[in-house]
Amino acid sequence: MSTLVIVESPTKARTIRNFLPSTYRVEASMGHVRDLPSSAEEIPEAVKGEKWAQLGVNVEADFEPLYVIPKDKKKIVKELKDALKDATELILATDEDREGESISWHLLQILKPKVPIKRMVFHEITREAIRDALTHCRDIDNRVVQAQETRRILDRLVGYTLSPLLWKKIAWGLSAGRVQSVAVRLLVRRERERRAFRQGSYWDLKAVLEKGKISFDAKLVTVGNVKVANGSDFDENTGQIIAGRRVLLLNEEQARALLSRIQNKPWTVGNIEERPVTRKPSPPFTTSTLQQEANRKLRLGARETMRIAQSLYERGFITYMRTDSVHLSEQAITAARSCVQELYGSEYLSPQPRKYTTKSKGAQEAHEAIRPAGSTFRTPQQTGLDGIDFRLYDLIWKRTVASQMADSRQTHVTVLTQVEDAGFRSSGKRIDFPGFLRAYVEGSDDPNAALEDQEVILPALKVGDKPNCKDLEAVGHETQPPARYTEASLVKMLESEGVGRPSTYASIIGTIVDRGYAKLIANALIPTFTAFAVTTLLETHFPDLVDTGFTSRMEQTLDEIATGEAKWLPYLQKFYTGEMGLATQVKEQESQIDAKVARTVILENITAKVCIGKYGAYLESENEEGQVKASIPQDLTPADLDPEKVDFLLKQKTEGPEKLGLHPDTGEPIYVLIGNYGPYVQLGDVSETNKKPKRSSLPKGTDKDNVTLDMAVSLLTLPRLLGTHPDTGAKVQANLGMYGPYVVHDQGKVGKDYRSIKPPDDVLTIMLDRALELLSQPKAVRGSKSATPLKELGAHPESGELLNVYDGRYGPYVKHGDINASLAKDESVENFTLQKALDLLAAKEAAGGGKSSSKSKKSSKTAAKSETATEKTAAKKTTAKKTTAAKKTTTKKAATATKTKKATKSS
């Protein structure tokens, strides 16, 4: 007798095998084994002529989905069928959520087992949990499956109906999505607020006072009993004081006059207020709060956080990481309290066990919060983890343990000091008992916010005391525009608005960046001009689809379908084919949308038009000589495009570049220009004999207006030859690159060894001795934050070596021996299979691909991209004629094929 257990991933299968008897065989489905067609090639011949076929949903037959087994999954399905032949029982052990329930249902439909079937669920992969789950199996929950199927169909209808419209009206390769488009609108709305923002300026005084040799700060708050204006008193739209506010706005002259008047005058403590404050620990992590905190504290993106958490879960370190519940089991509470008792002492335990409940209606209380796995919690040091795996586990462990700790007791102290008619305030904080802060301090979206465990100690003061003034200065301030969204703050906003589900936020944010709707710079999500154009079109013609309230109500209905409170078919009919349904709206609106208007972004205070072109955004303006077009640099954001920059770009196009002067040695002119990748200097003019003049980018953070002739001459000497390496005789150079300044030890065919140049070293002045010192230091491994693979695929059929997907500098890649092959840009790690890896490696090897061969690297990547792009092209064609054209593109050059982008199938 044998039992076949099917899970999603090889890592999960390998871990579970250790906890089951030898009569159990555990296999992995590698995620979904069937789905709606992703390309025209996957549509069965029998229905290719149907007008609904490209949707993959028969809207004329009760929205019946067209499920197919993708080519890369057929081998897996065959292996599972073969394994089932020898089994006397089948256990479906996919994840306990909508997606997992759906995978189990699809497996059931494909395998058609004739043996008894059980559905096993668990939220952690430990021996105890797996053994317990075996005794509490259930049937597949068809209501949950129906809810997931409705969600999948709805997302397909939105994506595949709106995306072709965006291709026609704005640019090829764009996509729309039920949640994605709302998230993009939030980014655009914030950028519009930044454009509308008007800066205000104000001055105040800051003093350093001293009492009993203890110094403390004091800030001016009143003059003559009138409140002094601060940043909160300004209207962001005018840069002026908000109407009706009775405040005193000081300018520089007034502030300095006040300073002179009260200088050397006596200071007196007028009032002291002490206020006790009790702080409770935050609940354990949900998917959303883990993504937010990992972004704040570890600077991890949502996708990377979920990838690492998935790996920790599958290896048995944490509980299931897709949950919106803050609930902890009795076992977990006991384990957490035991940790507190052992590590911090009984005084740090909360008097009673803390029990958290989730307020949101759609929360899945059957799940627990994300916590360390097991009935006892391993400390981070006991896990054997390292790198980013260790840091994320450490975050989860601390948050869970802190949730069972005592409150933090603090005293907030406010001291008001008077000098003449000027009132100053000093604020202090005394931690009387740290409580949970001993273990965990929650991060903040405000980069300037102090952590809660940082005390601000004031000296012992009483009313009437006369502290000494050690220093007094006038300080100028300028109000700041609304902060752009980070991944953390966007996730928080989406969740608070009820848009989407936390388990999808990582993929949504990834899609926004991948599709070119936003750039992630310094942890901020900055929308592009394309995002502005798409959002404007959707707001104008399909306002409901980008309205947070409408999308939130859709989410509630989908939850109600899962609980049986709503019927799925009437909802889909009303949404898509109803009188005001999506299909009806698209049909009516398409003829009303002018493509030229749709590609144009109108920005306040900008006379020129911003247009979306094939190669990016550009300016379009009219002058006496006709129409002028100028590319907009890729690093110039919509909020930062002002009239001055517009004039410069247009002037550069019509009158030529700005000349700094002549090179002292050659006499050639030196220009400062702005290109697609930012400002740079150029030596000489472009001509028939000098088609590529010498150029050099400006160092990061250098304003073009601050470039001098001497600086430009120095930049044009790059790369600088510093000398030869004493060990090899090879040259050592300093240069500027994509990632900043660096030194390089160039040994020709042997290879190049790079090290970054960081302040206070300067690429223009660094000497050979310092370069050799940098080169002697161990090389930091870029991109690969952990040796832990993103995904384990299985053994190579010839060598037996385990093939894994790793996170590298240029994204995910698969490695076999000497060969590294990058996954295509839009390839999902989760859906990447062993067979895909073998095909990719074979293509790389056929192209002569060893990891030291840059030429073969390029050809391999191009080949991989070409193959992927061909599939994506097919996915976008909506007629049989277009499908034929897509197949023809397989014979074109890979460089052309890679320009094609895939439409989003779902949000």
Report how far Cα 856 is from the mean position of its chain's Cα atoms. 31
Strands 89-92 and 117-119: parallel
* Residue 136: how many other CB atoms lie within 10 Å: 10
- Cis status, amide bond into 657, omega within 30 of 0: no
Beta bridge partners of 753: 745
Token pair listed for 613: 């072109």
Question: How far, CA to CA in Å, does 477 sit from each of 232, 250, 253?
Answer: 12, 11, 14
Q: Is 801 buried (19+), middle (13-18) or exposed (0-12) by CB count in 10 A?
A: exposed
3-state secondary structure of 890: helix
Q: For residue 244, give every residue at least 6 positions away whose Cβ sits within 8 Å of its Cβ, in sequence order, or none.
A: none
**CB-based contact 63:57 (threshold 8 Å):** yes
Residue of 313, 320, 517, 806 marked catalytic: 320
Q: Is 522 buried (19+), middle (13-18) or exposed (0-12) by CB count in 10 A?
A: exposed
Dist. CA 423–CA 421, nearest whole Å: 7
Encode 380-406 in three state secondary structure: HHHCCCCHHHHHHHHHHHHHHHHCCEC
Long-range CB contact pairs, 80-83, < 8 A, 24+: 80/6, 80/27, 80/29, 80/33, 80/107, 80/111, 81/111, 83/4, 83/25, 83/27
Dist. CA 810–CA 122, nearest whole Å: 36
Long-range CB contact pairs, 297-303, < 8 A, 24+: 297/395, 297/443, 298/388, 298/391, 298/392, 298/395, 299/523, 300/388, 300/392, 301/487, 301/506, 301/509, 301/510, 301/520, 302/487, 302/491, 302/505, 302/506, 302/509, 302/510, 303/506, 303/507, 303/509, 303/510
Nearest by Cα to 60 from 572, 530, 469: 572
Q: For residue 179, give every residue at least 6 positions away whose Cβ sits within 8 Å of its Cβ, in sequence order, or none.
A: 494, 499, 500, 504, 508, 551, 907
- Catalytic annotation present for 320: yes
3-state secondary structure of 823: coil
Q: Which residue has the tokens 């706005």?
A: 249
- Buried residues in 444-471 as b, exposed as e (16+ CB within 10 A): eeeeeeeebeeeeebbebeeebebebee
Dist. CA 394–CA 399, nearest whole Å: 9
Dist. CA 367–CA 361, nearest whole Å: 14
**CB-based contact 321:360 (threshold 8 Å):** no
Token pair listed for 201: 């300026």
Q: Is 513 buried (19+), middle (13-18) or exposed (0-12) by CB count in 10 A?
A: middle
Active site residues per annotation: 320
